[in-house]
Structure 1
């Protein structure tokens, strides 16, 4: 039977349901469910050995990693600024900023930059690229002439997919990096990058730190599971609350760097203390590669360290909000 034009107009899909019928042919509706392909370990070996006929699916650890990566890839519009800080030196703040940047840039499709705002000749660029010849000072001097992505990239070095902006390397002029200069740099980077991580240097009262906190969308406070390391991290949160940053403190992520730890310290009590104060707590295990203080090679990290930094990246990305971006 031939369908008349009038019939087609009334029933364009042929079954009386209109365009909604097309939803019946979506890929997830047509294809039969299949177990996810395992990506590692004996499960992958078995899958490949049998040509896919035997598929045990991913193991628990692989599923956990997949869930972390899904969180890391949370959508983000505009720029999100993360400040990594500590009132105490020697707790791994620069290492945390570097590895957080490496993880986010590696597993996301947008652009990420890590900025060394340490007023005392920071070592972030040394840890990531070994190239600190061009610094934030040169970028500040040329700021009015920087209008394109190509212009910006002349002042950064590259670690994997992560752009790195080095700090001023002359300690005598480090205090010239003032709040207004930091804010100008941060505003410029916000035009070209989705994620801006600031290694803020030790302490909370220098001028650049004022600008860091004024611009920050979220903060990472680095401490250690020791009496002094945990105490200083807690005092950092106290300081933030006392100086008008209570919301930032409550939404913070505390990182406990486990290079130093003692069986005499009740680590669970420390964790519980911070869980009651902030949005997330992540422990970074001791890693011989990071302990050298040299150039960071992600391939040389222990699996537990890689997993911990994935957890940190996912916890930070949980704060991404496409409605707030910019």
Structure 2
């Protein structure tokens, strides 16, 4: 299917050795908005991946730079918050140009290996199977919780990679929820420019009779039929209680085929509730000795819980440096011995730099690893209905 962020398509072209084609930079014509959503918004300038096509309005909505105004309702919310920028204007000039995930020398060496290797056909077949797994239909919305044991483990990056993969492959709407309101960075990772309504706000707004169009009026629209529900407007001290989280997740589940939740670090109360209620869980773990040690202890503790908890858990082992201080594969095998699945996300210069995640700049091994992770997590979520 045509796509405005077709990074998996880039992988297929890489595997086949087909040179990419340059297309016009466009997200396609905008769909007709709800009358209450027709307000002037600054145009977002975004570089498109090489080899993508503009999206027809019948399949995908145009990317929106920020949350639209809420649709009219009989009972309007008591408070209508102002829109706030994700990045303060005083800081916008501090970011450098984004880097590619791997150097030019590494890309050239990989291309040469593809020419002399016989594994290309196998890789194409594997990626095709991965796509088919992610595209399986769902009877009820699948909720996937992403958390970590400590900060700096790549939790938000993993959540953004998963949400991007599901939004690309699936035809039904995908939602990314930020349940880390204090200092969450999911909007920044996803390239949102402004925020308005938050998870706590929506807990008192969503009603059973609302349509998908009504609900998405309170969300930040992203490319590929995906939406973002921020946890806060970037203010220190923002709170989200478990009751509000549960109301939002129960109310939104019927609108979205897959929901990816970026949780607080454990053992925060909302994170524990999110993990227990989700159909699949992802633990982001840095490939360091202390990260492996603490995660192994947590997985051993999970072995004493009902079997579905650890059986539905995937560890995303993220390499924070080009040369980790541990044997990553040996560490992964040790973690797998607890019954949890483990996927290794290789070091990627683009991810390590922070800022907006631009999938066309990811290294090819990162793209493949992220797709495999998304497929296994989705398969586990399907087993718990």
State the distance in 2 between where 1:99 and 1:108 align. 14
1:285 counterpart residue number: 346
Aligned match of 2:233: 169
Partner of 2:25: none
2:106 equivalent to 1:133? no
Shift of 1:210: 3.2
Residues 207/195 of structure 1: CA separation in 2 closer, same or farther (3 Å cut): same
* In structure 2, C-alpha distance between the alignment counterparts of 1:233 and 1:261, rounded to whole Å: 21
Q: 1:263 to 1:126 in 2, by over 3 A?
A: closer
> How many angstroms apart in 2 are the aligned matches of 1:42 and 1:248?
36
Establish whether residue 182 from structure 1 lines up as the match of residue 155 from structure 2.
no
1:40 corresponds to which residue? 13
| TM-aligned CA distance change 1:202 to 1:245, over 3 Å | farther
Q: Where does residue 89 of structure 1 map in the other structure?
A: 151
In the alignment, what sits opposite 1:214?
A: 276
Is contact 1:221-1:236 (8 Å) kept?
Answer: no
- Distance, in Å, in 1 between the alignment partners of 2:316 and 2:301 is 17
Q: Is the 8 A contact 2:207 2:251 kept in 1?
A: no
Matches within 5 A, 1:249-268: 249-260=310-321, 262=323, 264-268=325-329
Q: Distance in 2 between matches of 1:286 and 1:192?
A: 35
| Partner Cα distance (1:79, 1:42) in 2 | 33
Distance change >3 Å, CA 148–CA 41, structure 1 → 2: closer
Per the TM alignment, residue 45 of structure 1 is displaced from its structure 2 partner at its CA by: 5.6
CA RMSD of aligned residues (A): 2.7
* Cα displacement (A) at 1:301: 1.0
CA–CA distance in structure 1, aligned partners of residues 122 and 354 of structure 2:
33
State the SS of the aligned residue for 2:137.
coil
Contact 1:87 1:202 in 2 (8 A): yes
Match of 1:116 among 175, 178, 192: 178
Equivalent in the alignment of 2:221: 158
Q: How far apart in 2 are the matches of 1:282 and 1:292?
A: 21
Q: Is the 8 A contact 1:97 1:197 kept in 2?
A: yes
Task: List runs of 5+ in structure 2 lacking aligned partners.
Answer: 1-11, 20-117
How far apart, CA to CA, are the structure 2 residues paired with 1:280 and 1:317? Answer: 13
Shift of 1:262: 4.6
1:317 pairs with 2:378: yes
Residues 131-169 of structure 1: per-residue CA shift (max 9 Å, x gap)? 333221321232348711112112211222221110123
* 2: CA distance, partners of 1:164 / 1:181: 17
Q: What SS class does the counterpart of residue 222 from structure 1 fall into?
A: strand
For structure 1, the residue ranges without an aligned partner over 5 or more in a row are 1-38, 47-55
Contact 1:122–1:169 under 8 Å retained in 2? no
Structure 1 pair 275/145, CA: closer, same or farther in 2 (3 Å)? closer
Whether the 8 Å CA contact 1:182–1:208 is kept in 2: the answer is yes
Aligned length: 275
Question: Which sits farther off after the overlay, 276-285 or 93-102?
Answer: 276-285
Give the TM-score of the pair, scaled to structure 1.
0.76
Indicate whether 1:191 and 2:254 are aligned.
yes
Q: CA 1:260–1:42 in 2, change beyond 3 Å: closer, same or farther? A: closer
> What does 1:90-109 correspond to in 2, within 5 Å?
90-109=152-171
1:294 aligns with 2:355: yes
Q: Could you report, residue by residue, the CA deviation over 1:253-274 in whole angstroms, capped at 9, with x for unpaired residues?
A: 1100011365652223211112
Q: TM-score, normalised by structure 2?
A: 0.65
